[in-house]
Amino acid sequence: MKKRLKHLLGIEENEAFTGKVQMTANLFGMFDVKEITVNVIENASVVPLGNIVGVKLYTSGVLVVGMSEISGDKPYEEAGIKEGDRIVKINENAVTCTADLIQNVNESNGEKLQVIYIRDGVKKQTSITPVKVSDNNYKIGLWVRDTAAGVGTVSYYEPSTNSFAALRTWNYGH
């Protein structure tokens, strides 16, 4: 393999080479398919592992992961909030978990809420008016999460850089 790659790149067998090389991927040696950049790195030794690892991530604020209508209304529609945004404050109250969000929405009694959220690292402000769904319960139509968890397999460890790679499967909950 190494000998063939050096031949394809036009490098002598005993010549050391690292860097970027532009190549053309082709089909059957006849049809050019795509221009690619090949990153040639120094020889590295890795330690194969196959160890299982569990991960739990906590967000700063709550992450918007979906939206749904509330009795035919979409209270979030005019607010401009999108999936991937992080809500960090409601009416000057910090939102650190889903319970904080639920409490602030329910305590609003349907009054307009001032919401501060973060999109792509930029803090933004908007307002949302909750919709009443039952006695003293209100909703804003946003599905949010404050954690994510997953299990994966650490495939290898590279000692000289202390780096590793892992295959993962995330559980986004119910």
pLDDT, tens digit (0-9, with 9 covering 90-100), for 59-112: 889 999 999 998 888 999 889 999 999 999 999 999 999 999 999 999 998 999
* 66 and 35 within one domain: no
Domain that holds residue 22: 1-43
Q: What region does 121 belong to: left with phi over 0, alpha with psi -120 to 50, or beta?
A: left
Of 75, 57, 95, 72, the C-alpha closest to 142 is 75
pTM of the model: 0.61
Tell me the per-residue pLDDT of 30-65, one tens digit each, with 9 for 90 and over: 888 888 888 877 777 888 888 888 888 888 899 999
66 plus 129 within the same structural domain: yes
48 found inside a domain? no
